[in-house]
Structures are given as C-alpha cells and as structure tokens.
Amino acid sequence: MADDQVQACACKSITDVRRDVLILDAGERRKAAWDRLKALPVSSSTNATPSEIECYGTIDRAEIAIQKAVAVTLQGVEIQLWIALSHSSDATYKSTAELVDRQDLSGLLARENTFDWDARMLLAALRSITSMEVQ
C-alpha cells in the first residue's frame, strides 16, 4: 500500500473515532443531566423550574447530537438504541423506565413478552450487540 493510501486510511479511522466520541460525550451529558434532574426537589408547580428547563435542554441537545451522528462502534450504536428504547411507549411505565435508565437488559428481557413490538425489536438489537461484544 502506498504511503498516501495508508495516510488516507488513518485519517478515515480518526474521523470515525471522532464521530463516536461525539456520541459517547453526548451520552455522558445526557446521563449527567438526567441524574441532576432526578436529584432536584419535586416542584409543587405545574410549570418546570429553571433548573428543570436547563436539564431538559441539555438532554434534548444531547439526544439530537446522538440521533444525527452515525455510529461506527458497537458502543455508539448501543447508546443510540438505549435512547430509542427510552422513547418507546413501554418506557412510560415507571418500572420499565427504571430498567431502561439502568440499562438492565436482563430485567427487560424477562418482561419482553409484555412489550409492544417496537420495544421488543430494540431489545433484540441490544441483545445482539451484547452478544457481539462478548465474542
């Protein structure tokens, strides 16, 4: 392989890693914002507090960045799938939302037959990724 071809391959790899770094960083920002949101005192108002609005804004921006990115690693794809699952109709139930929040795949798979098809397909993809990571 010519030197310029090696250099072109290296640049592409660096670009791909950077893309997943964006997903990983956005995933961390999203998680930190959710943790801050859950730690806030429960408001008696029906309107969101400024702190809640800030957390939701951070979550939204992080999810948009993750959605727009093209993952090149299993870890990047896994983050995208967990977020997709968090938005499924089944995740609106508190017990399911807690399992999704903890990324408790075995706990979710134990209830898989109770979920709608979209959530079941997302679980299948997460199960497959987990299997790939083990190999």
pLDDT per position as a tens digit, 66-124: 999 999 989 999 999 999 999 998 877 888 888 998 999 999 999 999 999 999 999 99
pTM for the complete prediction? 0.81
Are 55 and 2 in a shared domain?
Answer: yes
Which of the listed residues 21, 50, 72 is the one where a domain comes to its end? 72
- The candidate with the shortest Cα–Cα distance to 100, out of 34, 37, 47, is 34
- Do 81 and 44 have their domain in common? no
Do both 37 and 90 map to the same domain? no
Same domain for 61 and 27: yes
Among 5-14, 18-27, 88-97, 112-121, name the most confident range. Answer: 112-121
Residue 26 shares a structural domain with residue 47: yes
Q: pLDDT tens digit string along 35-67?
A: 999 999 987 778 899 999 999 999 999 999 999
Q: What are the tokens at 134?
A: 């083990």
Q: Which two tokens stand for residue 1?
A: 């392989």
Token couple for 91:
């995740």
Residue 76 CA to residue 129 CA, distance in Å, equals 11
pLDDT at residue 95, rounded to an integer:
85
| 101 and 79 within one domain | yes
